Structure 1
């Protein structure tokens, strides 16, 4: 028996040396059966052959060319006659690499169930009858070489399939000849991502991995307990740049699952410096509500606020009270005031209601341009999104504000005038031409609102000569029997309790009368 096998191998090697075949890579196959005179094998494409009776033809030699060290299965099966098939794989130099060593238990087929080729190259698959030249069986057969996995360095497994975009699902399919699939994406910043690959059909047990530009693994998503999806729940990219996503199957080269998948890269939070976070959402005016929206891509929005004075302001950001949550979102927010250099001045945190954030009664240090930022709680890594309303309320104009600069008019003895104190103009002034030695009663009475009034008499240089304090009722203030020291222009200033930081507003009547 051993002598017959050696003789057979010798004849096979001789035949190989004499044979000259046109060669096509196995993985470029179409699944059509080929005629016996075309002795090239292609993965998954059955071929037909015949082993003759007696000594006429006891084997046939087929050529298999591979681009990598693939995992393969080889099966020869009788289709007619009494052929007892045997199959073996020979190296490019004619050495036997593996064989079926006879038929299986049915005696109708011979199989090499799982063999990894040592390298890329041209190999021979030999189908012969049992006992080779000395055998007596004959018949037709089919031969098929099945790829279980192409090599990791196979062109299929290293070429990029294409680009993937944020929040745009795409579909692919893992096969034995393409079990490692690469996608590229360019991140504009150090973005926070969620990445998932979900099986859509077949037996695929997927895994997913992120590589940096140098091919270093940054994060891996392993199969779930149900084996139908793999995800990277959170991965924070280190910087802007190009990255690669790898979708493959569990165990990779040695794995056996195949099937379709859906790949989704979700942007959970744009990184600082992302174009998605740049630019102003708009300009703010006092006491004017504006609307904004926080998304995963734009998890904060900046608004510009320009002030003419060192004003006292309140900033409120809140979720809309009308509309369903499905429309308005679940945003939990903070509000931040930034200075001209981007430095944080004050932060308003989420209230206990979870629906708003407030910076209350903040006195600005200087006039100028400020940034009001509305951001979600936990910033880039936060999980809430939705609509918001933003209002900057002027609580009191600051020193230098033009609203406080000019008098409202002239007041004369015996002629009352009406005025109003507001947050914008919390100090209202009137000019008065005084005469030396005049003795006057100066009285202010609230006519509407909540005004808690005070009055000052000031000279032309703005120096306070006398202050009038409110009555216990807090709706009236009087300076009785006030003597004018010299002829000239004076200011009577009506203002509210606590001035710029006060809370009251309202209308009033001012009377200047001779003291009786």
Structure 2
């Protein structure tokens, strides 16, 4: 901040090195620039008086003009001055040294509609007064558009192709404050158009936003009313678009009664109409929510949007009949379509045809903007058959609903946003329907639908077991029928050789809606008993993720054999299947193509400890050591992270597999202990995971070698 004219003048000289266009950015830090108001807005034909002295090193004014306008700025002064015109981004549009016969800037054509800044500062270290007159000689509009508390909505329909966000320069920034007068824990949250959010748990954003005090947090320290929480943005370039305001009633610190509050919004120093509201006390641990919004436009004007209490996902602001009668876009399986949600259009409708028993997933994801999606699916009678707000609350605010179609019908998708009509997020979204084609023998079982569905089907009396291991290393099977991640065993086929009442026998493990997690899932089929009728069994396995059949296989398996496959869910909730096949523990080294990688094997000696990792793209590591006849070796492989289920093989100098270990003791770590070598030469250690090339567990490990001679 410049405290006197001399300091300011020295700063101007330094700026000259970098270019005069940087001047405005420096002036933002001046006191006089922070004190913007109506007296600093130039009006055509009016003259403004200004002062340059030690307390006022420069003066800054604004005007609004349209593209093609021709304007003039004239100054009368007893001192020599510099006159500078810049746009909202600080780019120099025109400048003039006002002295002698030069009295200002004449006939300046405005290139782009918007707010412009006029800066007046002295050429020499002098003080004085001046008169500044602004003229709009050729105006494309009858008058400038001021910042207003109300404004008419745009008349142009916004589409997915035309929806954009931009920036506008606000020298005084913005502020949103929440005021209430009770001893309750209310919280303020504001989401900006680019997806940044300000609240007690996110105190800064990339757009220059900052959050103040968390008042009455958890009712631990009670403030003396009135209470105020504030989100603010420093002066500068800020994103245009819709800012969503959320008020949470987290905890009633005294009596559980409704709380009245006021939301104040200030844009560039101009107050918008206050938002008055009341919010109910929380129910149990669930906070109640009130929503509001305001829109910042490209010309710097702002308008308050709709507001009201949050309602449950299935509570609609209009009747289902109105939704069904809204013109809709037809969808087909597997073909994504884009749409847009704005404050003027808070929902769109889409239709699709479904067959009874078909398993489908309707997904809606934000592509551009700050849109927090929400969707519902209605049948032709207006009944809600599926809904979803967040795929994973507080983590993934996109939406996906997986369900089995109850009856052949035409369905309508209500694609909207959190808060629906009173919400404040906007953006372009992609909506898509995916589905699986399962055999009737599965569809007719009316099994529950979910985010992940793994189905095993076979004919006969044999007892086959299905096991699915989740990304956290927990397995769902007949001994553990439910795990913390949500996986659940529903159908158990011919378990313990007790024939299934429904034929053919089916094993079914699924994860209910909203339980999809990122990571690798391993699927195992074990032929554990022939139930007195020997012979191979043919089975079919189906893996469905988010309503889409990602993997199916038909396999012939013999008694006590194990079949293994895996699939991974990435950060975009896209599923990728892996290889599959019958595995073997003893002799399993033949499934690993290690010979072609021997040249890059790691040399290890007795007493060494190495670290490594098994990943979907690195199924095994190779170590080599020199052994002698009579050496007694111990090899230990211990998992150190994630879900890794280790497996060790030892190959002798002739290429024969002489030892292996899957599980050492009660753990899933591996150890080959006290093995006496019978040959001299190079031995090969293969460090891998259960299932070798078909395995799905991953993670880090430590490998150690001890040689006793």
Of structures 1 and 2, the one scoring higher in RCO (CA 8 A, sep 6+) is 1
Higher Cα radius of gyration: 1
State the TM-score, normalizing by the size of structure 2.
0.24
State the TM-score, normalizing by the size of structure 1.
0.31
